[in-house]
Structure 1
């Protein structure tokens, strides 16, 4: 996967898929003829419509600009021929690097599938667009990446190279440069694609999917509660080094709460608008998450219920 740091350029022979995040940073896209508008949530039928359009036009490139959801639509639609260019400027930039897509079916179910197209895709990191993000938007993306890296470092499945990628992601975040935010997201995605994710993401994914919301806010909200849940049952040495915290659950939780506060993430699931019934409804799917067998210790439904109750009520 080639990665380029450059200003976005769009040619006359390109098909462009752009969402609201894209047009807020690249005003010319809003008025450009032929730009395909992308909306959340990402749906399989939108990917199929894009694939049909690309088949008719036979463009030189398919350029997807915006949130991770928009990038997933383009990844699913891509069938070869045209070059696929992914320009992450909105939520969930890690999806530019993830070897899978997550799209909603007509039934409303969200399905994740392998995305072989990502191997040959070009990722364009546009520093000017990334620098224009509002502070809370940038803070949320950075906090979500940090949680991804933390959960890799806690996974019993993580190998030496997975830990290296997760540590490098946290190091990239510490450099505090907008372009490095996307680099960090890609490093963390490379790691968690191999290990699966941990407890925060396991619950955040079905909660977000049911509410038609990206998982990032919920992931960041849950992370400090998860750290407290693990307590001294987890080895915090590598996590603490990456976050710049003391190697103890309380210190890690405090650091994660600071990241959440910078992103203006609500302190509890209740404050974020989730009813308790919707929280408990997510537990079965959370327990099936790919990373669950590799947590520091096994977690059953009762343990997850207690964790989420605390995260819901505070």
Structure 2
């Protein structure tokens, strides 16, 4: 079989080790840092202007206030410390200012390695891709994830797993990012069951990085389109929503999924392998428990159908999408 594909490697400095080097990494890019981190974040950065209004799904009005604060203080480098919401806000500022970002993840969200931004307005989440929002430097320190509550750590790790699984069939998938995805699944499968240990957190963080690199290249597939609609329209928590939806999208696409995905999970099938992980770590299973009402399902279906990416392995219809969301809402077996 002949191969023909175009793969683009994104330019980024990745430092895996200790947050103690943060000041040095920031100094490589600027001297007047704007630190975006929630009030409970303990990472310090001398002489930084600190901005603590970090909100899930980045409402446009929150982005506007952060942009204004950055401009008023004449900063020249953005520093995000936190999960996807913190780096998402930094991206919103970078989108209009062009300022470089140093990202320090404290979850397994993966947003730190993608050029994808997202903001919410009037119940609708809009996303896009722009090279200006790709963090120039990412500093990983597994000790920073130790304070995550267990349920949030599990959900965040499964969000990372969703990046890897979906990269196997996403619109721009190719052999390079599928290799990253499979390596990501390997580390996530090993790390997620032992998140109470430093080894588990470190392996999960490394797996999340590989998964996000694959996702950044392969693009956003059906799973992410569903989760973006749920997050924007129903304001559901990001990581938990991804964790609940993933098994259902995998079950839908399972007939067309490569055997290599099953091998990465060490199971007879990808669906069975993912199920084993969920059983082992006590994963969330129901959109109803996250706050979605049954009446919200039809408008979410309509929104997703408008955004279904080309090339999904299985045709997506109103009927099978509704059935998928109803099973996810009720917490039923994906199959």
Taking structure 1 as the reference length, the TM-score comes to 0.83
Asked whether the equivalents of residues 152 and 162 of structure 1 are also in contact (C-alpha less than 8 Å), the reply is yes
Query: In structure 2, what is the Cα distance between the partners aligned to 1:190 and 1:101?
Result: 15
Alignment of 1:115-130 (within 5 A): 115-119=130-134, 121-130=136-145
Report whether the alignment pairs 1:262 with 2:282: yes
- 1:40-68 CA-partner distances (Å, limit 9, x unpaired): 23123333333333333233532111121
Q: 1:246 aligns with which of 253, 268, 284?
A: 268
Query: In structure 2, what is the Cα distance between the partners aligned to 1:248 and 1:184?
Result: 17
Call closer, same or farther: CA 1:75–1:248 in 2, change over 3 Å: closer
Partner of 1:151: 166
Q: Secondary structure at the match of 1:297?
A: coil
1:119, CA displacement in angstroms?
4.0
Report whether the alignment pairs 1:205 with 2:228: yes
Report whether the alignment pairs 1:17 with 2:36: yes
RMSD (CA atoms) = 2.9
Taking structure 2 as the reference length, the TM-score comes to 0.78
**73-82 vs 117-126, which moves further:** 73-82
Structure 1 stretches lacking a partner, 5+ long:
none
Report whether the alignment pairs 1:72 with 2:93: no
Call closer, same or farther: CA 1:80–1:218 in 2, change over 3 Å: closer
Call closer, same or farther: CA 1:27–1:148 in 2, change over 3 Å: closer
- 1:198-244 CA-partner distances (Å, limit 9, x unpaired): 4433322211211223332122112223333345x223512112222
Q: Secondary structure at the match of 2:80?
A: strand
Q: Secondary structure at the match of 1:153?
A: coil
Query: In structure 1, what is the Cα distance between the partners aligned to 2:270 and 2:110?
Result: 28
Query: In structure 2, what is the Cα distance between the partners aligned to 1:51 and 1:258?
Result: 43
Structure 2 stretches lacking a partner, 5+ long:
1-11, 192-198
Partner of 2:154: 139
Call closer, same or farther: CA 1:38–1:137 in 2, change over 3 Å: same
